[in-house]
Amino acid sequence: MERLFSYGTLQQENVQLETFGRKLQGSEDTLIGYQLSEIRIIDPQVVQTSGKEFHPILKYTGRSSDTVEGMVFEISAEELAQSDAYEVDAYQRVAAKLKSGIEAWIYAEAN
């Protein structure tokens, strides 16, 4: 199983059902060293799925005072590939250690 930290639209039940075909169960956790920003999504399929033109995006700061609350979901490798397909090119998937000590995938600003 893979762990995925979500801080945005992947927490929405409608996005989970459309992307994974099921509602995900998760636990709350915190990402340290990042802050939230916002980007405009121009992919019509993603906007239709999420119902939102603007999505949050993680920006790395490295500062321990910067934290982002979210949910950690356990998903299969196939579901991780499905979440990769959902995210637009402005995001990149990277591994991160959460406040709980859990290692999880996150989608952060691609740079």
Q: What is the pTM of this model?
A: 0.92
From CA 31, how far away is CA 100, in angstroms rounded?
Answer: 9
- Give mean pLDDT, residues 22-28: 97
Please count the structural domains in the chain: 1
- Give the pairing of strands 2-6 and 26-32: unpaired
Condensed to tens digits (0 to 9), the pLDDT of residues 34-53 reads: 999 999 999 999 999 999 99
Q: 17 with 62: CB under 8 angstroms?
A: no
Which domain does 98 fall in, by range?
2-109
Which residue reads 């459309």 in tokens? 18
Q: CATH number for the domain including 41?
A: 3.10.490.10
> At residue 111, does pLDDT exceed 90?
no
Q: How many distinct helices (H) and strands (E) make up the chain?
A: 3, 7
